[in-house]
Structure 1
């Protein structure tokens, strides 16, 4: 056979060989993906029982409770509407401008204790205990308990021993978020009576991004101990930024127009009983304090 004939037949043979092969790939079985990789649930600590309830099974469908909630929210909406005609936070504008002291939290009855939440390392398997009640004269709050730095035996937790009291997020009508506006003040004012232990005061402000939800501004509260009350004044310029207990390099002052909560944390690693009595928590305007921020901040280039 000549070379010319072979070159003519070669493409035909190649095409015929292609047509003899199957064009479609054989069907493959679906890969079995574990459910945890598709739907990531909440973290469960070792030894904690699994909760098999569905999300709608946790809701309490109570008709009477719903009516009470509607009355409550419409009353808050009415108060919010009429306060705007009076002035900021229901006060005349002149009184708001000349205000130098404001009491934010005071304890004058059992209903005042409902504005606070308690937590300790018992939630992660620790042994610390914390309680809150009214003082003997029902005009103060009495925070007490026992601190234990023994870590839980779960094979994961290495450190333990903390107790915390934190205020609840203020809510407007229909559970809309509210914020404390302290831009007219520059100092935190407290009247406390402790047992000599050092506490940490934590201020939580509203953030723009979700990864900043654990950012907290902190400073120290040193109690003297003994039977005498002490008036503590801490400038807001002294509070430093922390994230999950770690001091951040990029520091900036507290956003006083969007303060959400205030908290008190004890974690001095001194096992034993503790107590802290609080009369009131407020803010004030100290004209002798002119410092804007006590810590070094990053210098922007170019400066804004």
Structure 2
């Protein structure tokens, strides 16, 4: 009898979650046709046929998201399974990333992204430590790239659910500089919105490619470029974007090539966080404004 009650409760919880998701989709779809001041857009800006096709595509995408989520939840998490998130073999994949640097804030560092001659992501540029004379900035010499926000169904900003995997694997070729792999999760407050998990990558230079594996448990929490005294385990179900950065005091050109970024499961890494000062830094969880993709 108790077993039947437990099963009925699980069914009820799944139905409740399903209806909550439908309500979230309805609100998101309404916001799609609302201006910032809360007024509905003019009907002349919409073509009924196109909107119907968009609705069909969004429904199919939402059903795929639910199927993928259930598959991730109940999959056999053996070490052979992996997820190749980015395989940089076309210009379309490269366009899913953006470059940034202190040049956007008055500095002189610059960088650019391109598809290399060998069909790999090519990130090149120049690092300059010259500080702009604005009376505010006191340090310079930063460039970075990151993936664009993941798009969920019904035109929502999405997050990735990477719970089935615990190791990041990257095939790259560097120039001998020290780069950082960055991972950002969804945060709700201004004080934590700049939180970033990172791990250094020491490239060896030369003509040879190398494969780097980074366990999620080895990522370090930082805020606005400063390492936090306390760190927490990465919430792998709320990944907002990933990227690379270069912060050095050595001026000059740089060059980094990336072949792929994938996530794998390695049973040798079972710890949630590898550092001594592991503990809560936020204290509260108010959910997410993003949809899982």
Change (3 A) 1:249 1:69: farther
Shift of 1:81: 3.8
Distance 1:242 1:66 in 2: 46
The aligned counterpart of 2:189 is 209
User: Which of the residues 166, 179, 197 maps onto 1:186?
Assistant: 166
Distance 1:298 1:141 in 2: 35
The DSSP-based 3-state class of the residue aligned with 1:210 is coil
Shift of 1:202: 1.1
Shift of 1:67: 8.5
The aligned counterpart of 1:136 is 117
Distance 2:243 2:164 in 1: 21
Contact 2:72 2:164 in 1 (8 A): no
| Corresponding position: 1:172 with 2:172 | no
Shift of 1:249: 1.9
Change (3 A) 1:255 1:69: farther
Distance 1:90 1:136 in 2: 39
Of residues 213-222 and 91-100 in structure 1, the stretch that sits farther from structure 2 once superposed is 91-100
Change (3 A) 1:143 1:80: same
Looking at secondary structure, tell me which structure has more strand per residue.
2
| Corresponding position: 1:106 with 2:52 | no
The aligned counterpart of 2:199 is 219
The DSSP-based 3-state class of the residue aligned with 2:191 is helix
Contact 1:73 1:173 in 2 (8 A): no
Shift of 1:247: 1.2
Change (3 A) 1:107 1:70: farther
Paired positions, count: 239
Change (3 A) 1:197 1:172: same
Q: Considering only CA atoms, is the larger Rg found in Structure 1 or Structure 2?
A: 1
Deviations for 1:165-217, whole angstroms, at most 9, x for unmatched residues?
01111011333121111111111100000000001111100124332111111
Gaps of 5+ in 1: 1-54
Within-5 A mapping of 1:19-38: none
Contact 1:217 1:241 in 2 (8 A): yes
Gaps of 5+ in 2: 1-35, 281-293
Higher relative contact order (CA 8 A, sep 6+): 2
User: Which of the residues 33, 55, 61 maps onto 1:80?
Assistant: 61
The aligned counterpart of 1:148 is 128
Contact 2:125 2:253 in 1 (8 A): yes
The DSSP-based 3-state class of the residue aligned with 2:196 is strand
TM-score, normalised by the number of residues in structure 2: 0.73
Change (3 A) 1:173 1:93: closer
Distance 1:227 1:134 in 2: 18
Distance 1:122 1:68 in 2: 44
Contact 1:195 1:276 in 2 (8 A): yes
Distance 1:104 1:65 in 2: 34
The DSSP-based 3-state class of the residue aligned with 1:231 is strand
User: Which of the residues 261, 268, 274 maps onto 2:241?
Assistant: 261
Deviations for 1:96-117, whole angstroms, at most 9, x for unmatched residues?
7556211011112111122111
| Corresponding position: 1:197 with 2:177 | yes
Shift of 1:78: 3.1
Distance 1:277 1:196 in 2: 12
Distance 1:218 1:68 in 2: 45
User: Which of the residues 207, 216, 233 maps onto 2:213?
Assistant: 233
Distance 2:279 2:138 in 1: 38
User: Which of the residues 99, 103, 124 maps onto 1:122?
Assistant: 103
